[in-house]
Amino acid sequence: MDINPIVLSIPVFFGLIVIEWVYDWISKGSSYRANDAFGNISCGIFEQSTGLLVSILTVGLYSITYEYFHIWNLEQNFINGVLLFLGVDFLYYWAHRMSHEVNLFWIGHVVHHQSEEYNLSVALRQGALQKIFTSPFYLPLAIIGFSPEWFLYILAWNTLYQFWIHTEKIDKLGPLEWILNTPSHHRVHHGRDPKYIDKNHAATLIIWDKIFGTFQAEEEHPHYGITKPVNSFNPIDAHFKPISDLWDEARDLTVRERIQLLFAPPGWAPKRLGGRQYAPEVREESKYTVSLSVTQRLALIAAFIVQIGFVSIVLFGAKSLTPIPLISAVLIISINIGTLGTRANGRNPNLIVEALGLLATPIFTFWFTHNSILVFGLIIAILVCYIPFYRKSQNTAHVV
């Protein structure tokens, strides 16, 4: 169990995304937009890279709880494995449900729901703060006596299952819909229509939603996204706008009301300000979009692939990095995907900041790998991919 199944699955994730994207294009579908897919995957990159810094708070919390408070030393056998799977799935349901019903937790999870499309790339769109808020929910498993290594392994498979349900290309699956979480059930979960909001929180087994009253079958086609759209493809905006929105909601509140706001459901307000506001009916489909030329779209995809290469170098070698280099790598990644996110929004980033991020990329790569050929190829790739961005273009951002 030394190998993380999620790490092994990364190439498979990207392969399936490409296949679905090509199928969508051939069948003249509308599930993919280059900017949106960039935003989804770059949010995942931001979550994974920053997660290297906060793992001591998440994995460490479980490990410490197990070390000092576990009751039994459970063997790793089939029966205990089934019990652990059920425990992880059950506690995931409650962690996920609370992430929708508590404002403080919602700012960590809302990032996953911001995309106005629904495809496999959305599965990779995760919030950097989410693990901090949800990791305490799993501590009962540590107290019972499931070792950290075993827990993380089962949790990884629980996470992997959820990848394939982020698609519109699979219809309802007959009797499997009674027990398992399926693409149909999860499409409901991503809908912003009032009847679909806060429904179907399950990971693998939909039975939890049916038991605890949060199940909703897919009926009308969902409208995806959130009621307060982020209107940006930049992963940095995606993470900080929910915090900014919550801050704005707290401006006119008393200290007591601000504390209530943190633990109240989204849309809550004190009675003196009108009480809780519920999601309105979706009367007209609207999506944030940006007009980019074909050259700019191709350059965005190519530049992003180059950045994914650098991110892979960091993620796969993170265990050998000391804190200062690790923090530096995360900062470089954040700058690069942030400036690319600005370009995905049809605007030019601060050129000095962009240049510093791009310059630091091959320098760090050489320091880390000592591979001159790799660094030379990286420099050439950066030059080729970024040149189109410096040509004059008529990019506009608008809602359609």
CA distance 149 to 59: 10
Considering the domain architecture, whether residues 196 and 311 belong to the same structural domain is answered as: no
d(CA 273, CA 254): 12
Domains identified in the chain, total number: 2
One-letter amino acid of 92: Y
Same structural domain, 203 and 114: yes
pLDDT at 395 over 90: no
pLDDT band at 7 (very low <50, low <70, confident <90, very high): low
Q: Classify the C-alpha dihedral 242-196-115-6 as positive or negative.
A: positive
Range with the lowest mean pLDDT among 89-98, 118-127, 159-168, 378-387? 378-387
Taking residue 22's Cβ as centre, other Cβ atoms within 10 Å add up to 11
pLDDT band of residue 159 (cuts 50, 70, 90) is very high
- List, as one string, the DSSP characters of 353-398: HHHHHHHHHHHHHHHHH--HHHHHHHHHHHHHHHGGGGS----EEE
Whole-angstrom distance, CA of residue 195 vs CA of residue 358: 46
Q: Do residues 316 and 337 make contact, with C-beta atoms less than 8 angstroms apart?
A: no
Q: Which of 5-14, 27-36, 129-138, 232-241 has the lowest mean pLDDT?
A: 5-14
Say if residue 19 is in the same domain as residue 157. Answer: yes
Look at residue 395 and tell me if it is in a domain. no
> How many whole angstroms separate alpha carbon 286 and alpha carbon 295?
26
For residues 40 and 148, membership in a common domain is answered with yes
Question: What pLDDT does residue 10 have?
Answer: 80
Find the mean pLDDT for residues 182-210: 97
Query: 62-72 burial string, b = 16+ CB within 10 Å, else e?
Result: bbebbeeebee
Q: Is the pLDDT of residue 191 over 60?
A: yes
Same domain? 296 vs 195:
no
Asked whether the predicted pLDDT for residue 392 surpasses 60, the reply is: no
Would you say residue 187 has pLDDT above 90? yes
Same structural domain, 192 and 306 = no
Residue 295 predicted with pLDDT over 80: yes
257 assigned to some structural domain: no
| Domain final position from 212, 245, 268 | 212
Greatest Cα-to-Cα distance within the chain, rounded to the nearest angstrom: 66
Helices 103-113 + 255-263 axis angle, to 10: 50
Domain membership of residue 87 (yes or no) is yes
| Angle value at C-alpha 164, between 162 and 165, nearest 5 degrees | 70
Across 214-242, b (16+ Cβ under 10 Å) vs e yields bbbebeeebbbbbeeebbbbbbbbbbebb
Position 246 in a domain: no
**End residue of a domain, out of 180, 212, 244:** 212
Residue 237 lies in a domain: no
Tell me, yes or no, whether 161 and 17 share the same domain: yes
Based on the fold, state whether residues 205 and 308 are members of the same structural domain.
no
Identify whether 109 is part of a domain. Answer: yes
Nearest to 191, CA basis, from 164, 234, 221, 161: 221
Question: Which range marks the domain in which residue 348 is found?
Answer: 292-388
Same domain, 42 and 135: yes
Q: Which of 212, 246, 280 is the last residue of a domain?
A: 212
> Is 253 inside a domain boundary?
no
Query: In this structure, are 330 and 197 located in the same domain?
Result: no
State yes or no: pLDDT of 291 exceeds 90. Answer: no
pLDDT for 315 beyond 90: no
> Count of CB atoms within 10 A of residue 54's CB?
16
Mean pLDDT of 110-128: 96
Question: Do the domain assignments include residue 244?
Answer: no
184 and 314 together in one domain: no
